[in-house]
């Protein structure tokens, strides 16, 4: 379970998250929708441990552990996974090498033995087949020259291999055509499990046709301003966010 409590965050002296509260239960897929610039990415980066932000007050618990007291790699070892809006490109490092390093770093943090190469290859093959990722792509440098859809698939492959207890997808639909969107959504759907939660952040309703959320939250001015079921996403698609944005924020 993920619990965000009274989170106040600023960057460069400007308040971005404003007494933010959110709970996502085990097995739940929660969506956050909201206008651009409202702090959705800030929320995911603060949970994942990026340093640019000042956390003034608040706590983020993952299964009872306060993540804010931990380094980013320890947070990942505790089961947190963030799929980035803009995936990392790593020239000179083959995707397979990167995946193996990521998996073994997590195992080391947990005090587990390194995976043998055959075990690792078996896992990668199983997961990449499911996502329609060809083996020659895994030999290329991570994300370098990959299409938008290929990068997103790679993100989901990382998530499938790391088997997180909580996954955050921040605008993972941006720039995807319908086929890529479907593959990514099916990848996420296949990872849904009773002991795993998801936070799906998106500006548009489209992704939520494929990853059907249990809960939809509207975020504006650094807070959750409304919560509903999946039908709330459809309502927002029609009416937009204007009811939730203050005059000040528009100006």
Which CB atom, from 103 or from 232, has the smaller least distance to ligand ADP? 232
Does the footprint of Mg ion cover residue 36 (CB under 5 A)? Answer: yes
Contact window for Mg ion (CB under 5 A) among 5-13, 35-43, 134-142, 221-229: 35-43
Which CB atom, from 161 or from 219, has the smaller least distance to Mg ion? 219
- List beta partners, residue 4: 22, 60
Which CB atom, from 85 or from 106, has the smaller least distance to ligand ADP? 85
What residues line the site for ligand ADP (CB under 6 A)? 11-12, 16, 34, 36-42, 52
Does the footprint of Mg ion cover residue 172 (CB under 5 A)? Answer: no
Which of Mg ion, ligand ADP, none has residue 52 at its interface (CB below 5 to 8 Å by kind)? ligand ADP
Q: In this structure, are residues 138 and 93 in contact, taking their beta carbons and an 8 Å threshold?
A: no
Among 2, 34, 41, 167, binds Mg ion (CB under 5 A): 41
Rounded least distance, CB 219 to ligand ADP, Å: 7
Angle between helices 148-162 and 117-130 (to 10 degrees): 130
Closest residue to bound Mg ion by CB: 41
Report the distance separating Cα 183 and Cα 173, nearest Å. Answer: 11
What mask of x and - would describe binding to Mg ion in positions 63 to 102, judged by CB under 5 A?
A: ----------------------------------------
Q: In this structure, are residues 204 and 241 in contact, taking their beta carbons and an 8 Å threshold?
A: no
Which of Mg ion, ligand ADP, none has residue 42 at its interface (CB below 5 to 8 Å by kind)? ligand ADP
Does the footprint of Mg ion cover residue 223 (CB under 5 A)? Answer: no
What contacts 12, CB < 8 A, 6 or more positions away?
none
Angle between helices 95-109 and 117-130 (to 10 degrees): 110
Instruction: Give, rounded to a whole angstrom, the gap between the first and last alpha carbons of the chain.
Output: 37
Q: Phi then psi for 169, rounded to 5 degrees?
A: -115, 110
Report the distance separating Cα 177 and Cα 21, nearest Å. Answer: 33
Which CB atom, from 41 or from 106, has the smaller least distance to Mg ion? 41
197: exposed, middle or buried (Cβ count in 10 Å: 0-12, 13-18, 19+): buried
Which CB atom, from 86 or from 112, has the smaller least distance to Mg ion? 86
In the complex, which residues of this chain contact Mg ion (CB under 5 A)?
36, 40-41
């Amino acid at each position: 379970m993920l619990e965000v409590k009274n989170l106040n965050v600023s960057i460069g002296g400007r308040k971005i998250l404003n007494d933010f509260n959110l709970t996502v239960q085990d097995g739940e897929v929660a969506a956050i929708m909201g206008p651009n610039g409202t702090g959705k990415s800030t929320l995911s980066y603060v949970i994942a441990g990026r340093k640019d932000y000042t956390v003034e007050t608040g706590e983020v618990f993952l299964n009872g552990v306060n993540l804010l007291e931990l380094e980013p790699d320890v947070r990942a070892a505790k089961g947190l996974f963030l799929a980035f809006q803009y995936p990392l490109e790593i020239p000179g490092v083959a995707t397979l090498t990167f995946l193996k390093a990521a998996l073994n770093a997590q195992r080391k943090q947990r005090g587990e033995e390194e995976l043998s190469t055959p075990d690792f290859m078996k896992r990668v093959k199983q997961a990449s087949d499911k996502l329609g990722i060809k083996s020659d792509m895994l030999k290329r440098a991570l994300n370098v020259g990959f299409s938008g859809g290929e990068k997103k698939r790679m993100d989901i492959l990382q998530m499938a291999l790391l088997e997180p207890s909580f996954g955050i997808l921040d605008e993972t639909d941006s720039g995807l055509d319908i086929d890529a969107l479907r593959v990514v959504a099916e990848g996420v759907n296949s990872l849904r499990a009773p002991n795993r939660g998801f936070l799906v952040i998106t500006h548009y309703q489209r992704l939520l046709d494929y990853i059907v959320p249990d809960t939809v939250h509207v975020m504006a001015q650094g807070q959750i301003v409304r919560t509903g079921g999946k039908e709330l996403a459809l309502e927002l698609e029609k009416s937009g966010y204007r009811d939730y944005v203050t005059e000040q924020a528009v100006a």
